[in-house]
C-alpha cells in the first residue's frame, strides 16, 4: 500500500480542492464540501498560508464544516507549525468546523515518513467543537495528553508512530471517541512503541464510547493481537482492524484463543502473513456468527536472505 491518492471524501463530504491563484472556478456551497487547501510542491508561486488567506476571503467560512490541509510546500524540509498557527489564528472565522485533516499528501509530494509534523494538540483547544481529526506523518509529531469532549474520530497515519504519541493518546480523556485508527509502523521509521504503551487504550477506561479500534500497519502485530485477546476494550467493539502489518499464525492463533470475537460486525486483517490452515480456522470460527472478514493477503510478500532469515514488511513504511 502507498499513499497514492488524495482523500476523495472526508467527514461524509466530497472533497473540493480550493483553486490555485488565477484559476477560475465556480465554488460550491461552503458546508457541502470538505475543502482541501494545498501549496504546489513543484511551483513555489504561493505558500500554504497565502492560499489559506485567499480561502478565508473567497468562501463564507462561517459555514465550512471540514478542512483538509494538503502539502504546505516541501513538507520533508518544513514542519506544519505555521499551518497550525494559521488555523488557530482563524478559529473565530471557522465556528462550524467539525473535521480537520492535517497532511493529505501523496508519495510524489512527500513520502509518509518524511512529512514533518509538530504538536497538533493546540488545535483541540482552539476548536472545542471538533468531531473528527486526522494527521498523516509521524516525524516530529507530538501529542501530549489532552481532554476533548466532542472528538468522535481520531486517525493517525504513519510509517512509524512515536511511542510518545501513542502514550499521549492513551493518556488523553476522550469520552466521545467512537473510532480510533493508529498506524503504529516500524522502528525503521520512528515507530518505537511497545505493547505496554497500548495498555491504556486496551483497557478502554478513558474511551467509554469506542466502537471501532484499528491498531494496524505494525511490525509488532503478533504482540498486539496477543494483547487484544484479553483486552477489556474488545467486548464493546463493533469492528477490529489489525490490517497492514506483520500478522502471522502466532498472532492469529493468540487472537482466536482469547476472548470470543463473535460479537464483532467486522474483523479486518488484510495484508497479513497467515497460512491457509489458520485462515480456515478464522473463517470457521467467525463466519457462522455473521462477522464480516477481510483476509486478503494483498501485497504481503516475504523475502528470504542467504542465511535463511525471513523478512516481512508492513504495508506502509517509508
Can you give the pLDDT at residue 170? 97
Q: What is the chain's mean pLDDT, rounded? A: 94
Residues 94-102: what's their mean pLDDT? 98
Residues 239-254: what's their mean pLDDT? 97
pLDDT digits (tens, 9 = 90+) for 3-50: 678 999 999 999 999 998 888 888 999 999 999 999 976 666 789 999
CA nearest to 191, candidates 268, 246, 248, 270: 246
Cell reading at 241: 482492524
Can you give the pLDDT at residue 265? 98
Judge contact between 147 and 125, C-beta under 8 A: no
Cell reading at 285: 470460527
pTM of the model: 0.95
| 125 φ, ψ (degrees, to nearest 5) | -70, -35
What percentage of the chain's residues is helix, strand, coil (to nearest 5)?
30, 20, 50
Q: Which one has a higher pLDDT value, 200 or 43?
A: 200
Least confidently predicted of 25-29, 82-86, 163-167, 261-265: 25-29
Q: Which one has a higher pLDDT value, 41 or 217?
A: 217
Confidence band of 146 (pLDDT split at 50, 70, 90): very high
CA distances (Å), origin 22, targets 41, 44, 49, 51: 17, 15, 17, 12
| 151 φ, ψ (degrees, to nearest 5) | -65, 125
Burial of 44 (0-12, 13-18, 19+ CB in 10 A): exposed
Strand, coil or helix: 309: coil
pLDDT digits (tens, 9 = 90+) for 100-143: 999 999 988 889 999 999 999 999 999 999 999 999 999 999 99
Can you give the pLDDT at residue 1? 41
Amino acid at each position: 500500500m502507498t499513499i497514492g491518492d488524495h482523500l476523495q471524501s472526508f467527514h461524509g463530504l466530497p472533497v473540493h480542492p480550493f483553486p490555485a491563484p488565477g484559476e477560475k472556478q465556480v465554488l460550491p456551497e461552503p458546508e457541502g464540501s470538505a475543502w482541501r487547501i494545498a501549496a504546489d510542491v513543484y511551483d513555489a508561486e504561493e505558500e500554504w498560508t497565502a492560499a489559506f488567506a485567499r480561502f478565508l476571503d473567497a468562501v463564507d467560512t462561517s459555514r465550512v464544516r471540514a478542512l483538509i490541509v494538503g502539502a504546505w510546500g516541501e513538507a520533508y524540509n518544513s514542519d506544519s507549525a505555521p499551518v497550525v498557527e494559521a488555523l488557530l489564528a482563524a478559529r473565530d472565522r471557522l465556528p462550524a468546523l467539525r473535521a480537520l485533516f492535517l497532511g493529505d499528501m501523496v508519495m510524489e509530494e512527500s513520502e509518509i515518513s518524511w512529512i514533518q509534523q509538530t504538536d497538533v494538540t493546540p488545535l483541540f483547544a482552539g476548536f472545542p467543537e471538533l468531531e473528527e481529526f486526522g494527521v498523516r506523518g509521524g516525524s516530529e509529531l507530538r501529542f501530549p495528553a489532552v481532554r476533548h469532549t466532542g472528538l468522535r474520530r481520531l486517525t493517525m497515519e504513519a510509517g512509524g508512530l512515536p511511542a510518545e504519541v501513542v502514550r499521549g493518546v492513551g493518556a488523553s480523556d476522550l469520552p466521545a471517541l467512537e473510532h480510533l485508527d493508529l498506524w503504529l509502523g516500524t522502528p525503521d521509521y520512528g515507530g518505537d512503541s511497545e505493547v505496554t504503551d497500548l495498555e491504556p487504550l486496551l483497557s478502554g477506561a478513558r474511551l467509554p464510547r469506542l466502537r471501532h479500534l484499528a491498531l494496524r500497519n505494525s511490525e509488532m502485530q503478533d504482540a498486539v493481537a496477543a494483547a487484544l485477546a484479553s483486552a477489556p476494550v474488545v467486548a464493546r467493539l463493533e469492528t477490529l482492524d489489525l490490517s497492514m502489518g506483520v500478522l502471522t499464525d502466532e498472532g492469529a492463533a493468540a487472537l482466536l484463543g482469547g476472548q470470543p470475537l463473535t460479537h464483532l460486525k467486522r474483523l479486518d486483517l488484510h495484508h497479513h502473513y497467515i497460512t491457509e490452515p489458520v485462515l480456515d480456522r478464522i473463517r470457521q470460527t467467525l463466519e457462522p456468527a455473521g462477522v464480516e472478514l477481510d483476509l486478503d493477503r494483498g501485497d504481503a510478500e516475504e523475502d528470504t536472505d542467504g542465511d535463511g532469515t525471513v523478512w516481512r514488511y508492513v504495508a506502509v513504511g517509508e
